[in-house]
Amino acid sequence: MIKKIKITILTIALVFTSFSFTDNYFEIAKNLDIFTTLYRELNNYYVDETDPGELMKTAIDKMLKSLDPYTNYIPESEIEDFKFMTTGQYGGIGAVITKRKDYVFINEPYKDFPAQKAGLIAGDKILEIDGVNAKGKSTEDVSKALKGQPNTTVRLLIERPYEENPFEVSFKREKISVKSVPFYSYVEEGIGYIKLRSFTRDCSNDVKNALLDLKKEGDLKGVILDLRSNPGGLLNESVNIVNLFVEKGQEVVSTRGKIESWDKIYKASKSPVDVSTPIIVLINQSSASASEIVAGAIQDLDRGVVIGQRSYGKGLVQQTKKLSYNSQLKLTVAKYYIPSGRCIQALDYSNRNDDGSVGKIPDSLMTAFQTKNGRTVYDGGGIMPDIQVEQEEVNNLIISLVRERLFFDFATLYKYQNQFFNDDSVFVIPDSAFDLFKEFLSDKSYDYKTETEKAFDVLKKKSENENYFASIENEFNTLFSEFELNKKNDLERNEKMINEILSEEIASRYAFQEGRIKTSILFDKDVNEAIKYLNDKDLYQSVLTTVD
């Protein structure tokens, strides 16, 4: 056994030597030998029983974590989850699940997939899976149990709110293909909207088909491409999506890394669909990677206007390498650069602070670049939108109601009491429902502290420490009592935001994800801003034009 290990170490050292052409192979071989002997001694002599596989997984994860968050080891047991991230496909029941206390619940079934067709709804508690008690199981445990080969049967024991007895449901798993474009439609006369969820395989064809459908349905005068909260995915799909809107041969993105022979320039290789219709790309702080390639390329080429908030700033490219025993390594191999020449990576993982943290590149060190029309853009911190839209701050009351799932639970109750809904999936909560929601909350716990309360706490503590509190205690208590009276009106003060959240949640009960998106557009500040610019050609063009 030891002989085999030494041969393996020597082989690895030679491989490293052939790739890097450096003379550090001795250091590599030495440290591999140290690790192997340490690993053996732990397994042989540690006081408690150890799990060799878990020990190795921990060691690998810690090693890769020191590099960047995107370089990951994928064991065989997690390959299916990884494939889902790149293909959007898996074998299962077709539902989003969530953990609440001791049980996992159905959070939202996908329309026309097994869970929904079998009658499962949001709020259903999973008591058993194929006769096995699900109490205490994690979402990962339940997810693995629900997934499986298509046409295999799964049997669930379900407890449903407002129904007296649990019931059993049995149905077959299917191949689940989660739509990369969950919704597209006209949001106003002449203005089309396309929501792209992720950059999975063939998503560019989904965007293309949505664009062509919009052109068939009406006179398309402007397109809103929504990439908000899109974490990215496949690089080639981002190139293909930009290609829909720019001429063949146009450079979209390039990659440069340690191995020069791997450096590559990606150009639009197909005939475009539309090179003239005005485009608005929506981004936010959770738009990353491939989303930033699309938004950045559209911005750099002055092909459209970017609206929203600064994007995440992930300018690193990953590749997967097959390892032994059906495992894989996803590792960062390059940085990507959009047409102006800028890299929008926000964090420099190669230069860490003394405490191991990684700081963002300060604005003062960012470099200016020029778009095709000569507009100034910057590197080093995500894509800065051409038009920034300030988002309404979410206060602690709303956060508490979300955390305690009270919006979710009220939507479940509302659907139970109002089974029928005749509309095209848009839902706006009636005024009477707000009073019902307040009544619903009357016996619910949703403790929260406002920023004012936190300030009161700080004032009291500091004044006590400095021996001032005794002299101001009466005034302090009077002022705090006044505040407590005012706090009781927090629900009314937040009625607008509460109604918007309830409308989206209830819409999802009747029309699933499409209903949620369609309803959210009614209250969407970014979409409204996009519509304003697309309806005013001069305003739109003014953004893309330099001022002498």
In the predicted model, is pLDDT for residue 411 greater than 80?
yes
Cα dihedral sign for 277, 282, 283, 286?
negative
Distance, CA of 499 to CA of 429 (rounded, Å) = 6
Calculate mean pLDDT across residues 490-512.
93
Contact 252, 243 (CB under 8 A): yes
Q: What is the pLDDT of residue 213?
A: 98
Contact 491, 157 (CB under 8 A): no
Kindly indicate the confidence band of residue 450, based on its pLDDT and cuts at 50, 70 and 90: confident
Mean pLDDT over the full length of the chain? 90
Distance, CA of 220 to CA of 152 (rounded, Å) = 45
379 CB-near residues (< 8 Å, 6+ apart): 342, 343, 344, 366, 367, 369
Distance, CA of 345 to CA of 316 (rounded, Å) = 7
Q: What is the pLDDT of residue 285?
A: 95
In the predicted model, is pLDDT for residue 80 greater than 80?
no
Of 196, 198, 139, 149, the residue nearest 176 (C-alpha): 149
In the predicted model, is pLDDT for residue 250 greater than 60?
yes
Instruction: Identify which has the larger pLDDT, 181 or 148.
Output: 181
Distance, CA of 428 to CA of 426 (rounded, Å) = 7
Distance, CA of 204 to CA of 185 (rounded, Å) = 17
Calculate mean pLDDT across residues 398-405.
94
Identify the helix (H) or strand (E) that includes residue 100.
strand 95-100
Q: How far is CA 425 from CA 108, 114, 498, 505, in A?
A: 16, 21, 19, 12
**Amino acid present at 429:** I
Tell me phi and psi for residue 108, to 5 degrees. -165, 120
Identify the helix (H) or strand (E) that includes residue 241.
helix 235-243
In the predicted model, is pLDDT for residue 25 greater than 90?
no
Residues forming a β-bridge with 322 = 328
Vertex 38: Cα angle to 34 and 44 (nearest 5): 150
Using a 10 angstrom Cβ sphere, with 0-12 exposed, 13-18 middle and 19 or more buried, the burial of residue 276 is exposed
DSSP state at residue 359: P
DSSP 56-119: HHHHHHHHHHTT-TT-EEE-GGGHHHHHHHHHSEEEE--EEEEEETTEEEEEEEPTTSHHHHTT
Residues forming a β-bridge with 129 = 132, 156
Neighbours of 150 (CB within 10 A): 13
Distance, CA of 407 to CA of 103 (rounded, Å) = 19
Instruction: Identify which has the larger pLDDT, 27 or 296.
Output: 296
In the predicted model, is pLDDT for residue 104 greater than 50?
yes
Kindly indicate the confidence band of residue 497, based on its pLDDT and cuts at 50, 70 and 90: very high
Residues belonging to the chain: 548
Distance, CA of 23 to CA of 18 (rounded, Å) = 10
Of 397, 393, 392, 396, the residue nearest 492 (C-alpha): 397
Contact 305, 314 (CB under 8 A): no
Residues forming a β-bridge with 257 = 334
Kindly indicate the confidence band of residue 12, based on its pLDDT and cuts at 50, 70 and 90: very low
Q: What is the pLDDT of residue 424?
A: 60
In the predicted model, is pLDDT for residue 4 greater than 70?
no
pTM above 0.75, yes or no: yes
80 CB-near residues (< 8 Å, 6+ apart): 90, 147
In the predicted model, is pLDDT for residue 282 greater than 90?
yes
Region label for 148, one of left (φ > 0), alpha (ψ between -120 and 50) or beta (otherwise): left
Q: Quick one: what percent of the chain has pLDDT higher than 90?
A: 67
Pairing of strands 183-188, 95-100: unpaired
In the predicted model, is pLDDT for residue 21 greater than 60?
no
Cα dihedral sign for 450, 455, 456, 458?
positive
Q: Quick one: what percent of the chain has pLDDT higher than 70?
A: 94
Measured N-to-C along each axis, helices 406-417 and 396-403 cross at an angle, to the nearest 10 degrees, of 60
Q: What is the pLDDT of residue 423?
A: 61
pLDDT for 319-362, tens place per residue?
Answer: 899 999 889 999 999 999 999 999 989 888 877 777 677 777 77
pLDDT for 38-61, tens place per residue?
Answer: 999 998 899 999 898 888 889 999
- The radius of gyration of the chain from alpha carbons, rounded to an integer in Å, stands at 27
Instruction: Identify which has the larger pLDDT, 246 or 470.
Output: 246
Contact 295, 311 (CB under 8 A): yes
179 CB-near residues (< 8 Å, 6+ apart): 88, 197, 206
Pairing of strands 167-172, 153-159: antiparallel
Cα dihedral sign for 306, 307, 311, 317?
negative
Distance, CA of 402 to CA of 216 (rounded, Å) = 40
Pairing of strands 183-188, 191-195: antiparallel
Residues labelled as active-site residues = 289, 300, 314
